Amino acid sequence: MTAFDLPDLVHKIFDDQEVTPDARAILAQPDRQIAVSVPLRRDDGSLAVFPGWRCQFNTTLGPAKGGIRFHPGVTAEECTQLAFWMTIKCALMELPFGGGKGGAQVDPKDLSPLEVERLARGYIGAIADVIGPDRDIPAPDVNTDARVMGWMADEFAKITRRHEPACITGKPVCLGGSEGRTQATGRGALIVLDAWLEREGRKPEDVTVAVQGFGNAGAHFACLAHERGYRIVAVSDSQAAIHDPDGLTPSKLLDYKQKEKELSGALYADSSVKEGNGGEEIAQEDLLALDVDVLVLAAMEDAITEDNAGTVTAPLILEIANGPVTPEADAMLVKDGKVILPDVLANAGGVTVSYYEWVQGRTGERWGAATVTDRLTERMEAIAEACFDRAGDDDIPVREAAYAKAITRIADAISSRGDRSYFAG
């Protein structure tokens, strides 16, 4: 089992909330970690073998839930960390799930579409014994999308010889996916941002935003925020960053990237936001230091560290990526008076709509886009307001308030099954 160290914040909450020793012990290590090898027959006939992992961190509240990513940086340690965050996120959102995460260490952009399909099916074949609608429900993550989830669900059905639409979420709608799932992470982040700024008496049209990361979540957030009236002055992707103080039109950039992707016939777009005829190109690191009202982090982990935290001028940071601010940088930013709307709250729209897809898959119901959006908005607003209230009442950062609510929920569930005080009489 890969060693895992709980963040210092969690230990603080354990002490502040007087979490029982039993709950502390159970939350200290993952329930299950699985390492697999995924053989892939390349188009030229050669064989490549990629390492893969799946971690189910804690299933006290229900089956594990979490994405699958294909990325060169995937490791056992990363999957464990992400599965822990998913555990917190699902508990915070009051979903009937625990936390899971997995992936394969590979750069899928070096593979053909047929090779990616074989990789997706091979990965599911390797972990099929430990997933399913009542055990562990995967979903999309970095470099995996609805099409990849469709392949995975199909492979799981072949292996089990059962039609299991609730086994994997984030699928195409025609294959049992949910309306609104593709936009859910970005939409949920916007709901959280709206709720915070409404408390501050700020209107969208008076707020400038820079978005680091123009992938699925970041791009849809930018488009939806622009529709709400926010001024998106800068965006970046893995290749470049662009800036226009008068405001960009994110939908044009997204349309351009999607069109180029379709024309190339590739699974992954090679085009960049700099080619979308909008804004002046700037250095990617300069985007983090722009004088804007809101800095949105929607790329990868550790975007802001203690080395560059001092360059951030935005008073409000919205975390759409998982773990984009290191603990050291977080402490520096909070000390400097910055407000951080944390990932476990801000990006929870994706797993929430995945839950709605899971419910629809189990019941055979089909919900329209408006129904999904209404239910997502109602839940996200309620949880966000509860976190903001807790942060204000206890004079703590929003991240600590969110973690406290989640850990208390898990700890209560653990204790309800009996702990030392019960069994010792």
pLDDT tens by residue, 210-261: 999 998 899 999 999 999 999 999 999 888 899 999 999 999 988 887 776 5
Percent of the chain with pLDDT over 90: 87
Q: Is the pLDDT of residue 385 over 90?
A: yes
pLDDT at 4: 82
Q: Is the pLDDT of residue 390 over 80?
A: yes
- What is the spatial distance between Cα 400 and Cα 215, in angstroms, rounded to a whole number? 28
**CB count in 10 Å sphere of residue 260:** 16
Residue keyed to tokens 């957030």: 221
Q: Is the pLDDT of residue 392 over 50?
A: yes
Q: Which of 89, 101, 171, 257 is catalytic?
A: 101
pLDDT at 263: 47
CA 419 to chain centre: 33
For 15, the token pair is 């002490």
Cβ(293)–Cβ(274) under 8 Å?
no
Q: Is the pLDDT of residue 354 over 60?
A: yes
- What is the spatial distance between Cα 289 and Cα 299, in angstroms, rounded to a whole number? 16
CB-side neighbour CA atoms (13 Å) of 63: 16
Measure Cα distances from 189 to 37, 265, 344 in Å.
35, 31, 10
406-414 mean pLDDT: 96
Strands (DSSP E) contained in 32-125 are: 32-41, 47-58, 64-71, 98-105
pLDDT at 101: 98
Going by their DSSP bridges, the two strands 241-243 and 231-236 should be labelled as: antiparallel
For 12, the token pair is 């603080």
- Determine the CATH number of domain 184-346: 3.40.50.720
Q: Where are the domains of the chain?
A: 31-175, 184-346
Cβ(86)–Cβ(100) under 8 Å?
yes
Split at pLDDT 50, 70, 90, the class of 3 is low
pLDDT at 279: 76
- Determine the CATH number of domain 31-175: 3.40.50.10860
For 54, the token pair is 């799946």
pLDDT at 274: 65
Q: Is the pLDDT of residue 21 over 70?
A: yes
Q: Is the pLDDT of residue 85 over 50?
A: yes
Q: Is the pLDDT of residue 389 over 50?
A: yes
251-280 mean pLDDT: 68
Percent of the chain with pLDDT over 70: 95
- What is the spatial distance between Cα 354 and Cα 73, in angstroms, rounded to a whole number? 25
**CB count in 10 Å sphere of residue 134:** 12
pLDDT at 302: 92
Write down the H helix ranges in 203-348.
Answer: 216-228, 250-264, 284-287, 327-335, 343-346
Nearest to 279 by CA among 242, 314, 305: 242
Split at pLDDT 50, 70, 90, the class of 300 is confident
What is residue 325's DSSP assignment? B
- What is the spatial distance between Cα 95 and Cα 88, in angstroms, rounded to a whole number? 10
Least trusted range by pLDDT, from 254-268, 288-302, 313-327: 254-268
- What is the spatial distance between Cα 124 and Cα 131, in angstroms, rounded to a whole number? 9
Q: What is the pTM of this model?
A: 0.94
Instruction: Please state, rounded to an integer, the average pLDDT across all residues of the chain.
Output: 94
Q: Which residues in 2-20 are b (16+ Cβ under 10 Å) and which e? A: bebeeeebbeebbeebebb
Measure Cα distances from 42 to 49, 113, 144, 145 in Å.
10, 11, 19, 21
pLDDT at 267: 62
319-331 mean pLDDT: 96
184-346 has the same fold as 31-175? yes
101 assigned to active site = yes
pLDDT at 257: 73
**CB count in 10 Å sphere of residue 264:** 12
186-191 mean pLDDT: 98
Split at pLDDT 50, 70, 90, the class of 269 is low
- H or E element, residue 282: strand 280-282
